[in-house]
Amino acid sequence: MSEWTGRPAERSAEDDYLDGNALAGPLSEVFAIDITAALGTCGTCGDRRAVAEAHLYVNAPAKILRCPSCGGVLLRLDERGGRVILDLSGFTQLTIEVR
Amino acid sequence: MGIVSSGFQGRRKRDLPGVPPGQYVTEDFPVLSAGPTPRIERDDWVFSLRTESGTGRHWDWNVFMSLPQEDVTADLHCVTSWSKLGTHWRGVPVDAVLNGVDTQAEFALFYSYGGYTTNLPLSDVLGGRAWLVHEFDGADLPPEHGGPVRLLVPHLYLWKSAKWVRGVELIPQDRPGFWESRGYHLHGDPWREERYG
Ligand SMILES: [Zn+2]
């Protein structure tokens, strides 16, 4: 993953997830913004954090981003056959810095 | 066509009999997981059944192990397109757990420790086609592959074989589980490439 993002995506020793920074590569093809810097509010527990701090599970049929506080699913990124399906329904809101 | 064309390297693995369309054969056993791996001790493990009328049954580890046990050899097909052939498991047929249960339900929703769910028609888990397995390759099923107990439904894509299984609810109408509510097929037959819903 780190070769896409240009910065190390830290791997947890305990469980097989990456930090949310690893979303920067695949989502740079979709958004002009860096979504990993966005502040996301979890729809399950209301916790508000940078997307980069969430836990990204990549060894799955689709990439799943989970809230580090409650484990709820925040985002699903499904790349299949030249299409990207992005499910953001786990966030109640995303706050994105624009210039 | 010549008998042996130059550059013929043997049959392409994906064309092997027993390998569904779009799948390739792997020798390793990739670990797929969309969340943290729950660590459940056998002493703490309980499997629960609930019918559509709300009646229930529970099996702790010892009672579960007293149910009929079967050895199963099965091919696994993951929707991410790998297949692993001839895997060896031991466990309890789902028939044994549902034996004598009074139900009109046609569907089942399986629940896992950690919150995962998957839905199946009852007809796909009865008749010797699905098991609650606790051994892989002659050893206790490790947590990364779903231990202490996972569901094994080898004729459907592997996301249906819920890891860390802890219960089943019998339901009159189909209700999508974790992946099925996130764009994956309600049924998941690899021979029909029922990948996406
Ligand atoms: Zn949360």
Q: B195: which 2 tokens?
A: 């990948």
**What's the pLDDT at A33?**
84
Mean pLDDT of A66-75: 97
Out of A55, A59, A85, name the one closest to residue B32 (CB): A59
Which residues neighbour B18 within 8 Å (Cβ) at sequence distance 6 or greater? B75, B85
Chain B residues touching residue A85 (CB < 8 angstroms): 183
Give per-residue burial for B60-87: e unless 16+ CB within 10 Å, then b.
Answer: ebeebeeeebeebebbbbbbbebbbbeb
Q: Does residue B197 contact residue B180 with C-beta atoms inside 8 Å?
A: yes
Chain A residues touching residue B115 (CB < 8 angstroms): 71
- Helix ranges restricted to H, A1-99: 2-5, 24-28
Q: Is A7 a residue whose pLDDT tops 50? A: no
Q: How confident is the model at residue A2 (pLDDT cuts 50, 70, 90)?
A: very low
**What's the pLDDT at A34?**
87
Q: How confident is the model at residue A8 (pLDDT cuts 50, 70, 90)?
A: very low
In a domain, residue A6? The reply is no
In a domain, residue A7? The reply is no
**What's the pLDDT at B2?**
37
Q: How confident is the model at residue A32 (pLDDT cuts 50, 70, 90)?
A: confident
**What's the pLDDT at A31?**
82
In a domain, residue A8? The reply is no
Q: Is A13 a residue whose pLDDT tops 70? A: no
Chain B residues touching residue A87 (CB < 8 angstroms): 182-183
Q: Does residue B119 contact residue B107 with C-beta atoms inside 8 Å?
A: yes
Q: How close B63 gets to chain A, by Cα (Å)?
A: 31
In a domain, residue B25? The reply is no
- On average, the pLDDT of chain A sits at 86
**What's the pLDDT at B15?**
62
Q: How close A86 gets to chain B, by Cα (Å)?
A: 10
Q: Which of A69, A73, A74, A86 to mutate to test the interface with B (most CBs of B within 10 A)?
A: A73
Mean pLDDT of B164-180: 98
**What's the pLDDT at A25?**
87
The residues pairing with A75 across neighbouring beta strands, listed in sequence order, are A65
Q: What are the φ/ψ torsions at residue B24 (nearest 5 degrees)?
A: -120, 155
In a domain, residue B17? The reply is no
Q: How remote is the CA of residue A49 from the centroid of ligand 1, in Å?
A: 10
In a domain, residue A14? The reply is no
In a domain, residue A4? The reply is no
Measure the CA–CA gap between A31 and A88, rounded to whole angstroms. 14
Number of separate domains in chain A: 1
**What's the pLDDT at A10?**
56
In a domain, residue B46? The reply is no
> What range defines the domain where residue B120 resides?
61-70+89-192
**What's the pLDDT at A12?**
55
Q: Does residue B47 contact residue B150 with C-beta atoms inside 8 Å?
A: no
In a domain, residue B18? The reply is no
Torsion over CA: B108, B36, B47, B76 (sign)? positive
In a domain, residue A37? The reply is yes
In a domain, residue A2? The reply is no
In a domain, residue A10? The reply is no
Out of B35, B183, B184, name the one closest to residue A57 (CB): B35
Q: Which of B26, B28, B33 to mutate to test the interface with A (most CBs of A within 10 A)?
A: B33
**What's the pLDDT at B44?**
98
At B77, the amino acid letter reads: H
CATH of the domain at B147: 3.90.420.10
Q: How close B96 gets to chain A, by Cα (Å)?
A: 31
Mean pLDDT of B18-42: 96
In a domain, residue B32? The reply is no
In a domain, residue B76? The reply is no
B99-106, long-range: CB < 8 A, 24+ apart? B101/B49, B101/B51, B101/B57, B101/B170, B102/B51, B102/B53, B102/B55, B103/B51, B103/B52, B103/B53, B103/B170, B104/B52, B104/B172, B105/B51, B105/B52, B105/B170, B105/B171, B105/B172, B106/B172, B106/B174
Q: Which of B32, B118, B161, B181 to mutate to test the interface with A (most CBs of A within 10 A)?
A: B32
**What's the pLDDT at B8?**
42
Q: Does residue A78 contact residue B34 with C-beta atoms inside 8 Å?
A: no
Residue-wise pLDDT tens digits, B96-127: 999 999 999 999 999 999 999 999 999 999 99
Q: How confident is the model at residue A5 (pLDDT cuts 50, 70, 90)?
A: very low
| A54: closest chain B residue by CA | B35
Chain A residues touching residue B32 (CB < 8 angstroms): 59-61
CB contact under 8 A, B33 and A60: yes
Q: Is B13 left (phi over 0), alpha (psi -120 to 50) or beta?
A: alpha
Mean pLDDT of B59-68: 98
In a domain, residue B151? The reply is yes
> What range defines the domain where residue A51 resides?
21-95
The model carries a pTM of 0.88
At A37, the amino acid letter reads: A
Give helix then strand counts, H and E, for chain A.
2, 8
Number of separate domains in chain B: 1
**What's the pLDDT at B68?**
98
Write the CA distances from B62 to A89, B58, B76, B164, integer angstroms: 41, 11, 28, 17
In a domain, residue B147? The reply is yes
